[in-house]
Amino acid sequence: MSTIEQLSTKRIESGNPIITVWRRLKRIPTAVVAWVIISVMVAMAIASLLGVPLTPYSFDQTSTTLLADPSWQHLMGTDELGRDLFTRVIYGSRLSISIGITTAFVALVIGTIYGATAGYCEGKVDSLLMRGVDIAYSLPDLLVMILVGVLVGRGTQGILFALALVSWMGTARLVRAQFMQLKHEEFIEAARACGQPVFPLICKHFLPNAMGPIIVALTFIVPSAILSESTLSFIGLGLSPPACSWGTLAADGWRSLRTHPHLILFPSLFIFLTVLSFNFLGDGLRDALDPRTRLKK
């Protein structure tokens, strides 16, 4: 058993943490590949937002070649109205990517603050806050989302707001559990015994050590947000056509599984790649953030 002293000093990192993390991250190949893929997706989204023509078609340009299979002319084929699917997938990236990232970020911030408070304070405050989470969990998502749609309005803000509203509870519970567990770890008790003030204590000791499961949870919010967005458009809160996202493309195309599989294959593939990349990047980040990890070459 190590002494209390050793335990509490071991956690303190030296140097600029961001550079350290980056340096560590670079050593994990899957994380690098994931980083590249995400960059490409984000670049695609930005290009589409700025109106850079990556394909010879526009996203709402119809043609008489309905439901064409993939060919050199239409890399991913065309949809029911003869629009180029590749162009639409690129166009769809802007919403899907931003929804994934924003929702995860909001869930992280709200969830962490909420969960940290509950987990750190324990007792009455904790009970009260956790019953709040139970209540928020129990409310029917659909009802909440319809209401948000009416109050906030349609379009991207409405979607983002609605999704953020229903996705922070999981993170909050998780952070709370982590905090409660950590509280009884020796090194934390040691740090508290040494008289560290609350806020730095949380930032330096609790958060880095609670990061693993939190990052995993986040990498789950990304795909679930991307997929829930398709549900939203389904209940009338979604995008106004001809705009689209990967989620709506998948939801519109899946019944063609047996006749025109390209309609479901490509949007799903992009969701899959994005989610996969976020997962591996998340794992990499976790390792890079965690000072205890000894990275093997």
Partner 1 sequence: MLLLILKRIVWAIPVLFIVATISFGLMRIVPGGPFDEEKSLPPEIIANIKAKYHLDKPIPEQYIIYMSRLVKGDMGVSYKYVNRTVNDILGDAFPVSLQLGLLGLALAIVIGVPLGTIAAVNRGSKLDFLSMLVATVGISIPGFVTGALLILVFGLWLKLAPVALWESFRHMLLPALTLSLSPAAYLARLTRASVLEVMEKDYVRTARSKGLSSSKTIVKHVLRNALVPVLTVLGPLTAIIITGSFVVEYMYAIPGMGRFFITAVSNRDYDLIMATTLVFAVLLVIANTIVDVLYTVLDPRMQVKG
Partner 2 sequence: MKFLLPLLAVALVLVLVGAGWNQKSIKPEPGCLRINLGTEPPSLDWSVTVDNYSFDVIANLMVGLTQYRNNLTCKPSVASSWDVLDDGKRYVFHLRKDVLWSDGKPVTAHDFVYAWRRMLTPATAAQNSFLFYDVINAYEFNSGKLKDFQQVGIKALDDYTLEVKLRRPVAYFINITALSPAFPLRQDIVEGFADSWSEPEHIVTNGPFLLTKWQHEYKIELTANQRFFEGEPKLKKIKYFMVPEPSTALALYENGELDFIDNRSFPTPDVERYRTSPMYHNYPLLRNNYVGFNVTKKPFDNKLVRQAFSSAIDRDVFPKILRRKEFPSSCWIPPSLMGYDANSGPNFDAARAQKLLADAGFPDGKGLPPITLLYPQREDVRLVVEAMQDQLKRNLHVNVELINQEWKVFLATCRNDAPQMYRSSWGADFPDPETFMSNFTSRNGNNHTRWKNKTYDDLVERAGGEPNQAKRAALYKEADTLLCKEESPLICTYLASQNILVRPWVRGLEFNAMDLQFFKTVWIEDSSPLSFRGFSRGICRGSSKFESIKLNAVKSRQIPRIARNDKGCRISQRSY
Give residues in contact with partner 2 (CB under 8 A): 60, 62, 66, 80-81, 146, 149-150, 154, 233-238, 240-242, 252, 255-260
Closest CA to 244 of 100, 95, 135: 95
What length is written for the chain? Answer: 297
**Closer residue to partner 2 in complex, CB, 147/201:** 147
Rg of the chain's alpha carbons, rounded to an integer? Answer: 23
Q: Which residues on adjacent β-strands are paired with residue 84? A: 78
Closest CA to 111 of 8, 221, 274: 221
Q: Which residues on adjacent β-strands are paired with residue 78? A: 84
Binding pattern for the stretch 168-187 against partner 1, x by CB under 8 A and - elsewhere: -xx--xx-xxx-xx--x---
Interacting residues with partner 1 between 80 and 139 (CB under 8 A): 122-123, 126-127, 130-131, 134-135, 137-139
Distance separating alpha carbons of residues 129 and 56, to the nearest angstrom: 54
Residue 271 binding result from partner 2, partner 1, none, given CB thresholds of 5 to 8 Å by partner type: partner 1
Answer yes or no whether residue 217 interacts with partner 1 by CB under 8 A.
yes
CB 75 within 8 A of CB 132: no
Strands (E), 129-201: none
- Contact residues for partner 1 (CB under 8 A)? 1-2, 7, 30, 122-123, 126-127, 130-131, 134-135, 137-140, 142-144, 146-147, 150, 169-170, 173-174, 176-178, 180-181, 184, 212-213, 215-217, 219-220, 223-224, 227, 230, 235, 247, 250-251, 254-255, 257-258, 264, 268, 271-272, 274-276, 279-280, 283, 286, 290, 292-293, 296
